[in-house]
Amino acid sequence: MLKKSIFAEIGTVLAGSILFALSLAFFLTPSGIVVGGATGISVTLHELISLPVGVGIFLVNLPLVLLNIKVAGFRGMSRTMIGILATSVFTDLLAFFPPASADPLLSSFCGGAMMGAGAGIMLMRGYTTGGSDLAAYLIHRKARRFPVGTLILIIDGVIILGAALLLKRYDGILYSVATAIAYSVSIDTVMNGLGRAKLALIISEQYEKISNEITKSLNRGVTVLHGFGWYTGKDKNVVMCVMKRSELFSLQKLVKETDPNAFMIITDAAEVIGDGFSSMAEK
């Protein structure tokens, strides 16, 4: 079981980082298309001083990782560090591939979609590529009135605008927007599938701790059902929670760390109507 889990982790990192790297090699770097985050800064530096994009991604993320380690700890940042290192290495290793298209508009959509797929695969198991996310979380800790999503949008916007001014490619802003749209759609599709939510039933003696952690860490509502174990002849408390597919890995990790002996049942929820989920259209 442990060996299977290790292979799943390795496969996730390889598949995600290779797709991420190929999006740059095939489409974004040859066309000089700047996306947000550390990757956008790295592509800009590549255009200005010929710094390898992968090296740039690593160098830009390094101070952000060190600052976040002080708050989240080494263990809390481990998957982020692995994700950054893998994407940095494969970006430069696969840079020899020739461009797939000379059309910047086609490159922006295809590059954004491929990059989103790679990032989504890694995020499904808790790995990230750093960049704007790390910077936004650092700022959010000091200025909590600004939502993280808004901060990421502002940071990416500044990077894209700054790159356009430095490279004097003002039409590149439009291509960057197209890339961002394709990236967003792709990552949502990978992480949320067809939009089906997940229903989790958790049986544990530590149900109170698990419920508190789900509410605090995942910001999801919890219902505690009262049951009876027929085999043991004892009353049981069952934690019921509905979440998006993208949150499932975080839930499994949370439960395992709180109670390694917890019993979990996870199934698809064909439709969920309520706060935090899409509502069913009236017929």
- Each residue's pLDDT tens digit, 31-56: 888 888 888 899 999 988 989 999 99
Confidence check: pLDDT of 213 > 90: no
Residues in CB range of 135: below 8 A, 6 or more apart: 64, 151, 155
50 burial type by CB count under 10 A (0-12 exposed, 13-18 middle, 19+ buried):
exposed
Cα–Cα distance measured from residue 203 to residue 242, given in angstroms and rounded to the nearest whole number: 15
Q: What is the tens place of the pLDDT at every residue in 137-157?
A: 778 777 767 776 677 778 888
Q: Could you count the other beta carbons within 10 Å of the beta carbon of residue 176? A: 26
136 and 11 housed in the same domain: yes
Q: Supply the mean pLDDT for the chain.
A: 84
257 burial type by CB count under 10 A (0-12 exposed, 13-18 middle, 19+ buried):
exposed
Residue (of 22, 49, 20) closest to 37 by Cα position = 20
167 and 225 housed in the same domain: no
**pLDDT, average across residues 217-238:** 87
Confidence check: pLDDT of 133 > 80: no
Given 192, 223, 256, the domain boundary residue is 192
175 and 233 housed in the same domain: no
Would residue 128 be called left, alpha or beta, if left means φ above 0 and alpha means ψ between -120 and 50 degrees? Answer: beta
Q: What is the pLDDT, as a whole number, of residue 71?
A: 75
Q: What is the pLDDT, as a whole number, of residue 281?
A: 39
57 and 147 housed in the same domain: yes
Cα–Cα distance measured from residue 110 to residue 226, given in angstroms and rounded to the nearest whole number: 50
Q: What is the pLDDT, as a whole number, of residue 193?
A: 62
- Reported as a pLDDT band with limits 50, 70 and 90, residue 135 is confident
Range of the domain at 236: 197-269
Residue (of 199, 212, 223) closest to 255 by Cα position = 212
For the chain, give the secondary structure using H, E and C: CHHHHHHHHHHHHHHHHHHHHHHHHHHHHHHCCCCCHHHHHHHHHHHHHCCCHHHHHHHHHHHHHHHHHHHHHHHHHHHHHHHHHHHHHHHHHCCCCCCCCCCHHHHHHHHHHHHHHHHHHHHCCCCCCCCHHHHHHHHHHHCCCCCHHHHHHHHHHHHHHHHHHHHCCCCHHHHHHHHHHHHHHHHHHHHHCCCCEEEEEEECCCHHHHHHHHHHHHCCCCEEEEEEECCCCEEEEEEEEEECHHHHHHHHHHHHHHCCCCEEEEEEECCCCCCCCCCCCCC
Instruction: CATH number of the domain at 231, please.
Output: 3.30.70.120
* Domain total in the chain: 2
145 and 226 housed in the same domain: no
Cα–Cα distance measured from residue 251 to residue 214, given in angstroms and rounded to the nearest whole number: 7
Per mean pLDDT, which range of 1-10, 83-92, 96-105, 236-245 is the poorest? 1-10
158 and 210 housed in the same domain: no
159 and 211 housed in the same domain: no
61 and 41 housed in the same domain: yes
Are 237 and 227 spatial neighbours (Cβ–Cβ below 8 Å)? yes
Confidence check: pLDDT of 283 > 70: no
76 and 201 housed in the same domain: no
Q: What is the tens place of the pLDDT at every residue in 159-200?
A: 888 888 888 888 888 888 888 888 888 887 776 664 567 889
Q: What is the pTM of this model?
A: 0.71
190: tokens are: 């990978």
Q: What is the pLDDT, as a whole number, of residue 22?
A: 95
